[in-house]
Amino acid sequence: MNITLNNGVAMPAIGLGVFQTSPKDTVDAVAAALQTGYRHIDTAAAYANEREVGEGIRRSGIDRSDIFIETKVWISDYGYDATLHAFEKSAAKLGVDQLDLFILHQPLPTAFEKTIDAYLGLEQLLADGRVQAIGVSNFMPEHLATLRERTSIVPAVNQIEVHPYFTQPAVRQANADLGILTQAWSPIGGITSYRGDGARSTFTDPVILAIAALHGKSAAQVMLRWQLQLGHSVIPKSVRAERIAENFDVFDFELTPEQMGALDALDTGVRGGPEPDSITLAAFGREIPEA
Ligand SMILES: NC(=O)c1ccc[n+]([C@@H]2O[C@H](COP(=O)([O-])OP(=O)(O)OC[C@H]3O[C@@H](n4cnc5c(N)ncnc54)[C@H](OP(=O)(O)O)[C@@H]3O)[C@@H](O)[C@H]2O)c1
């Protein structure tokens, strides 16, 4: 299933995420996903596994032109020239000439001029045909508003934390109002369990499990189906071939409006990831190596 972005480019709705996937596991996970039928991979310069994503793609034997590659510029590479160079680094590590989607990983609220300049770099890459689409991640409505005042091209996507425990209705509405696709990170709520802080996990939620039982599906499949029916793109992460396959097997059932509502109602309003306003170069800056 494809989603058409606001510039007409088709993007597979489900991609494989590879955050926290070790370089060694990345090659196998990407190859397994492509074997299963995925045609979209979401990585980032900051994940330090772009090279292995490229290797997994090549190992699959599937034509590069049939695969949608998405990656992200880290904040340490913000600024116009630095972002153009960040493209060169990412493309070289991935072993490709063109990226399908290149996005800013985070806003830098305390250095927003750098964020704007980075986005202007993305606009240039788009104009030069080096990327098929550009976008952002973790942008709150106020960041989107300033970006729109200062730049020309509406982002194709805003990749944000969305799962049943954190549904971000205001950001999703701002995205929709601007014609930006919401792409859900931690789409099955992985962040509610892997942080290990004792928070309850979406995978063992009784409401989600009850809905899953009615459909003969897993909690992860129900959450992914909920996201797709909301019109979101999803990028679930796994390093296990059987879960990679499970997360792709979500097209043979449909949630009812009541079930959609029951999932919406699980929102706690509590973010799993960092507060966007806490992202500073001092706290989160780190050098992204050359290719
Ligand atoms: N833009 C951003 O700031 C940002 C932030 C975070 C993530 N992301 C992107 O979003 C992707 C996904 O987010 P995420 O990794 O945080 O969370 P997620 O995809 O919601 O969950 C991943 C976690 O769930 C487990 N899992 C996967 N499939 C499962 C299944 N069917 N049943 C039970 N457990 C399952 C995985 O373990 P195993 O690997 O052991 O299966 C992993 O611990 C990332 O890989 C990355 O591409 C972006």
Cα–Cα–Cα angle for 183, 185, 189, rounded to 5 degrees? 130
> What residues make up the domain containing 264?
9-284
CA of 219 to the centre of ligand 1 (A): 14
Probe residue for ligand 1, chosen from 26, 30, 139, 188 as the CB with the greatest number of ligand atoms within 8 Å: 188
Strands 10-12 and 2-4: antiparallel
Residue 34 maps to which CATH number? 3.20.20.100
Strands 99-104 and 2-4: unpaired
The pLDDT tens digits for 56-103 are 999 999 999 999 999 999 999 999 999 999 999 999 999 999 999 999
**In angstroms, rounded to a whole number, what is the distance separating the alpha carbons of residues 151 and 180?**
15
Burial of 70 (0-12, 13-18, 19+ CB in 10 A): buried
Atom of ligand 1 nearest to the CA of 43: 47
Domain count, the chain: 1
Dihedral in degrees, nearest 10, Cα atoms 93, 94, 99, 102: -60
Domain assignment present for residue 147? The answer is yes
Q: Quick one: tokens of 36? A: 């299963």
Continuous H helices in the chain: 23-36, 50-60, 80-94, 112-127, 141-150, 169-178, 191-194, 206-215, 219-229, 241-246, 257-264, 281-284
Check pocket membership of 237 for ligand 1, CB cut-off 6 A: yes
CA of 104 to the centre of ligand 1 (A): 19
**In angstroms, rounded to a whole number, what is the distance separating the alpha carbons of residues 270 and 288?**
30
Domain assignment present for residue 2? The answer is no
CA of 262 to the centre of ligand 1 (A): 22
Domain assignment present for residue 76? The answer is yes
Q: In this model, does residue 196 exceed pLDDT 70?
A: no
Q: In this model, does residue 198 exceed pLDDT 90?
A: no
The pLDDT tens digits for 216-267 are 999 999 999 999 999 999 999 999 999 999 999 999 999 999 999 999 999 9
Check pocket membership of 187 for ligand 1, CB cut-off 6 A: yes
CA of 186 to the centre of ligand 1 (A): 5
Check pocket membership of 26 for ligand 1, CB cut-off 6 A: no
Domain assignment present for residue 112? The answer is yes
Domain assignment present for residue 46? The answer is yes
pTM over 0.95: yes
Q: Quick one: tokens of 46? A: 């900051």
Q: In degrees rounded to 5, what are phi and psi of residue 287?
A: -70, 135
What is the pLDDT averaged over residues 152-166?
98
What is the pLDDT averaged over residues 155-173?
98
Instruction: Report the length, in residues, of the chain.
Output: 291
| pLDDT, position 151 | 98
Atom of ligand 1 nearest to the CA of 29: 39
Question: Reduced to 3 states, what is the DSSP secondary structure of residue 14?
Answer: strand
* Cβ neighbours for 142, distance < 8 A, ≥ 6 positions apart: none
Q: Are 208 and 266 in contact (CB under 8 A)?
A: yes
Domain assignment present for residue 3? The answer is no
Mean pLDDT of the chain: 97
Domain assignment present for residue 289? The answer is no
Burial of 165 (0-12, 13-18, 19+ CB in 10 A): buried
Domain assignment present for residue 291? The answer is no
Q: How far is residue 27 from each of residues 57, 60, 164, 185, 243, measured CA to CA in Å?
A: 8, 10, 30, 21, 16
pLDDT more than 70, % of the chain: 99
Check pocket membership of 189 for ligand 1, CB cut-off 6 A: yes
